[in-house]
Amino acid sequence: MMESKKILWGLCLAAAVIAASAFAVFYFWDEKPDFGQENPENQRLVCEIIGYTNAVGARLNAGEPVPDYITEKYGTIYIPPDLKTYDLVEFDDFGLKQDNTTSLLTRIYDDLYNPDYNFTGSHVMNDNLIMDTYSGIIRYVNDSESAVALLIEVRDVDNPEFSYFILNVNFQSEFGDNFGIYIKPVQDAKSAMSSSKPLYIVYSSKDVDHDYRLPVPVE
């Protein structure tokens, strides 16, 4: 009888240890990135990568100069001339994995998506830059719509702590409501390297003035 009690006690203790270990693993796995999550301006962005995005300027009018508080901190900002509206943001490191899938919960307009990014290859560029490419598919948008994402991370061999990325997400619909989301850096290299985090522009193809024409040079 005493031996049975010892066995039962041992089994209970083992079960408690396993449960505690499982809880600890679940706790740490359940931690979510929270960069910029207390910034109310994030909700105005056309696209937000949840937990990695901090709005610097939301829904800015391209017909007006970039606000002084932005240029004073980030230097000269390069805005595409055919835009009507745009966002400026900082991003935290995505922790992209070349040997595994990286999931980045993303809000585009009012909808949430969770694309899985998979590493597809690297390419050595000029100036000791390495371009890592990741592709993602947004599944089950709806019965008539699909989306694909291309994420490019550029790393500097001479400055391992510095990197930037470019992201394109393209939606295609049977009903013709096709649009894209575009994210890319907007600083010169020197300003970007001296910033705590590079500045990015975020905009939709719906923000583009499709009637824009380049000014004709005056002879």
Question: Domain ranges in the chain?
Answer: 1-31, 40-207
Q: Tens of pLDDT along 93-109?
A: 999 999 999 999 999 99
Whether the per-residue pLDDT at 216 is higher than 90: the answer is no
Q: What is the CA radius of gyration of the chain?
A: 23
How many Cα neighbours within 13 Å face the side chain of 168? Answer: 7
pLDDT given at position 158: 87
Whether the per-residue pLDDT at 32 is higher than 50: the answer is yes
Q: What is the mean pLDDT of residues 193-216?
A: 86
Beta bridge partners of 149: 136, 169
pLDDT given at position 213: 66
Cβ proximity of 173 and 144 under 8 Å: yes
- Which is more confidently placed, 22 or 49? 49
Both tokens assigned to 216: 């004709």
User: Whole-angstrom Cα distance, residue 94 to residue 103?
Assistant: 9
User: Whole-angstrom Cα distance, residue 201 to residue 174?
Assistant: 29
Q: What is the mean pLDDT of the chain?
A: 83
Antiparallel, parallel or unpaired: β 102-103 and 111-113: unpaired
Whether the per-residue pLDDT at 53 is higher than 90: the answer is yes
Cβ-based burial of 202 (10 A; exposed 0-12, middle 13-18, buried ≥19): buried
User: Whole-angstrom Cα distance, residue 195 to residue 192?
Assistant: 5
Confidence of residue 143 (pLDDT cuts 50, 70, 90): low
Whether the per-residue pLDDT at 66 is higher than 90: the answer is yes
User: Quick one: which H or E segment has residue 59?
Assistant: strand 53-61
